[in-house]
Structure 1
Amino acid sequence: MRRAARVTRALGDTVVVRRAAAPFTPLAAGGDAIWGSGVRCSLGFDVSVSGAPYFLTAGHCGNDSWNWSGTQGGQEIGQTFDSHFPGTDYALVQYGDGGADPPAPSTSTTAASSRSLRRPTPTSASVQRSGSTTGVHGGTVTGLDATVNYQAGSVSGLIDTDVCAAPGDRGGSLFDGDTAIGLTSGGSGDCTFGGETSFQPVTAALAAEGATIP
């Protein structure tokens, strides 16, 4: 931490270093809206790639599982097509054609299906996060282009917020009305005692994968 402080002091006001009240961890736990091989996560946003249906979730979710179902032990609905973590934190899952129904759309995937943000979300902006463990919670953006150091490695370019989250919410969506903003990466605290949560900007994932939100 002392080394980081020395480096950032030379950069002046362009960098802010904050110590979290508790260690940041990927928001992982068992049981959720999308089930993998021994893990559960939250679906972020339904997207389209070259006309084919996919969805976005957290990259550390995609690293944990190749196959996904909409219920625990249920029929497979898709397979991880591409996954990035650490460095960034997003995964692209391709829906299968086996006839399985995808998870019922959450409030966030329905509300934010019409457009994605093409400019940085300003600090102090009001946002909402949806995850299958804690549902929808609101808060504000507290920082941009943040770097979070997880045990598995660092993730950069994240959006910091004071929105709470809990295990199982990872991969879920950050949005403002009908505007898609980000994917839940990790944080500290929970929705009982507060906390802070960081998000992978969805525009970076869309651009890298050539995906669009329908």
Structure 2
Amino acid sequence: MNHARATRIAGALLLAAGLALPATQAATADTAVTPLVEAAPKVTAAMAQAMQRDLHLTAGQVQSRLAAEATATTLEQAARKELGAAYGGSYFDAATGKLVVQTTGSAAAVRTAGVHATKVPYSSATLAGVKSRIDALAGRKAPAAINGWYVDTRSDSVVVTVNKTKLDATARAFLDRATAVHRAVRVVEETSSPRTMADIVGAYPYYINNAARCSIGFTVTTGFVSAGHCGTPGSVATDSSGALLGYFQASTFPGNDYSYVSAAGGVNLYGYVYGYDGYYYYVHGSAEMPEGSSICRSGSTTGMWCGTVQAKNQTVNYPQGTVYGLTQTNVCAEPGDSGGSWLSANQAQGVTSGGSGNCSTGGTTFFQPVNPILSAYGLSLVLT
């Protein structure tokens, strides 16, 4: 991308508006807080259209939802700080446009304005501890039939997912041990299993050692980040014309699913995400959105698709091994979308790891959150 073209793109795309929280009447959870549409982060027409299609929204509802989610992101931090050890998780409820905050104490005592508070038996810390104990049970590799496990905020439980078509004695024994960890553990049966999508691309494509293809997740000041299962340290990354992009400096998979490729000399670095719809999408930061928020993913196999964040810190059991700390979504993906970029409005969220299903019938896709990648390797995003 040359400078002139980047300038034209920058001029064509909308800048993000500053976050403005509306005034509240009183510091109670029951106080009505109506997010101003003007406070919504600005998105391009193409992303708005994808949200309309996949979330079944009108153009006006897209803006209202983005404004409500921006408010919820700030309220989530306030509620977490207020409740401390009693915090039981929170999620954005699209039906009401409000953040639902769960507490092990009295719901009536929650003072964070503009949230809907509800009482639950278990705190977030308790459920996170239960999940960690199941992580320890699995070690590096759980039985093949076990798809993964995660804290399900809405049901205040830890869910273990299993492919019932592969269920065998080893998997049953694992489920017995997992459910014995705590009464909050429950099992959900599925008919497919997650898989990595490392063979082809998500956003801009790159080739590993002139063979398998993956996608650039996000540009950093010294290169780019992507999925860990795409390559190992020392591997060469080239573009579709064979030009050298850089070299894998670090990679983790399984355990985590992220990698860092340092750019070769003379390679231009741009802080955009390509949507395969003729548009480039701005990246203004990497603020992590709450569960229930809208999110969009770009991949060269299937283009731009949107959905919602369903669960965070999920453990996923791939055939190659167990990966921790992934985020679950109901966004579809297909082989070739691996490593691609996840955006919520103009905030980077993560890179595609794997999933199940497809974009004809729907599916579940997991992404590796981007902030742990940046932290692990001491990297900074190139922002626009």
**TM-score, scaled to structure 2:** 0.49
Structure of greater relative contact order (alpha carbons < 8 Å, 6+ residues apart): 1
Partner of 1:40: 213
Aligned length: 205
Contact 1:114–1:179 (8 Å) recurs in 2? yes
Equivalent-residue separation in structure 1 for 2:201 and 2:313 (angstroms): 31
Partner of 2:225: 56
Contact 2:250–2:259 (8 Å) recurs in 1? yes
Contact 2:275–2:299 (8 Å) recurs in 1? no
Contact 1:28–1:40 (8 Å) recurs in 2? yes
Partner of 2:183: 12
Any unmatched runs of 5+ in structure 2? 1-170
Equivalent-residue separation in structure 2 for 1:128 and 1:180 (angstroms): 10
Q: What does 1:1-214 align with in structure 2 at a 5 Å threshold? A: 1-9=171-179, 10-13=181-184, 15=185, 17-30=187-200, 33-37=205-209, 38-48=211-221, 53-63=222-232, 66-72=235-241, 74-97=242-265, 99=266, 105-107=273-275, 111-117=281-287, 119=288, 121-214=289-382
Give the % identical residues: 37
| The structure with more radius of gyration | 2
Task: State the 1:2 CA deviation.
Answer: 2.6
Task: State the 1:171 CA deviation.
Answer: 0.5
DSSP 3-state at the match of 1:111: strand
Contact 1:42–1:170 (8 Å) recurs in 2? yes
Task: State the 1:19 CA deviation.
Answer: 3.7
Equivalent-residue separation in structure 2 for 1:115 and 1:193 (angstroms): 32
Any unmatched runs of 5+ in structure 1? none
DSSP 3-state at the match of 2:364: strand
Stretches of 4+ aligned residues off by more than 6 angstroms: none
Equivalent-residue separation in structure 2 for 1:197 and 1:17 (angstroms): 19
Equivalent-residue separation in structure 2 for 1:156 and 1:172 (angstroms): 18
Equivalent-residue separation in structure 2 for 1:195 and 1:76 (angstroms): 34
Contact 2:200–2:338 (8 Å) recurs in 1? no
The one-letter code matched in structure 1 to 2:264 is: G
Deviations 1:119-152 (A, max 9, x none): 4x32221111111221110011111111111111
Equivalent-residue separation in structure 2 for 1:177 and 1:16 (angstroms): 33
More strand by share: 1
Equivalent-residue separation in structure 1 for 2:236 and 2:187 (angstroms): 38
Contact 1:76–1:96 (8 Å) recurs in 2? yes
More helix by share: 2
DSSP 3-state at the match of 1:116: coil
Q: Which moved more, 1:55-64 or 1:103-112?
A: 103-112
Contact 1:70–1:102 (8 Å) recurs in 2? no
Pairwise CA RMSD: 2.5
> For residues 19 and 101 of structure 1, do their structure 2 counterparts lie closer, same or farther at Cα, with a shift above 3 Å needed?
farther
